[in-house]
Amino acid sequence: MRTREGMKIAKAKGRLRGKVPKPRVKQEAHLVALHKAGEHTSAELAELFGVARSTVYRAIERAAFSAPPDVTRVATPLNIYACSVVTMDPCAIASRQRFH
């Protein structure tokens, strides 16, 4: 009972937040910046920041999803395929969809 009372008091004071993530927000931003620079491998970054490689991968993935979309898009094979489908006749589209 004393533990729960102490937890309620700590929560009321704003001190009960659970486990603090190993790479802090600034550290994670620095980790992602180093990765984007291409100077270090994920294993080197993991050793440098004292985390597992999976943590490095998750940080990079979080940064990719939280980043605003790039306005200057490069034509990818999927974009080229989508553009070519528009110019094709309906029969060609149906036959191509069966094989993909």
Q: Which domains does the chain have, with CATH numbers?
A: 21-99 (1.10.10)
Mean pLDDT rounded to a whole number for the chain? 75
CA 96 to chain centre: 33
Amino acid at 58: R
pLDDT reading at 74 higher than 50: yes
Tell me the average pLDDT across 12-28: 80
**pLDDT reported for residue 100:** 47
Task: Give residue 72's region: left, alpha or beta (phi > 0; psi -120 to 50).
Answer: beta
- For residue 32, name the pLDDT band (cuts at 50, 70, 90): very high
Choice between 76 and 2, residue whose per-residue pLDDT is larger: 2
Pair 71, 43: CB distance under 8 Å: no
pLDDT reading at 1 higher than 60: yes
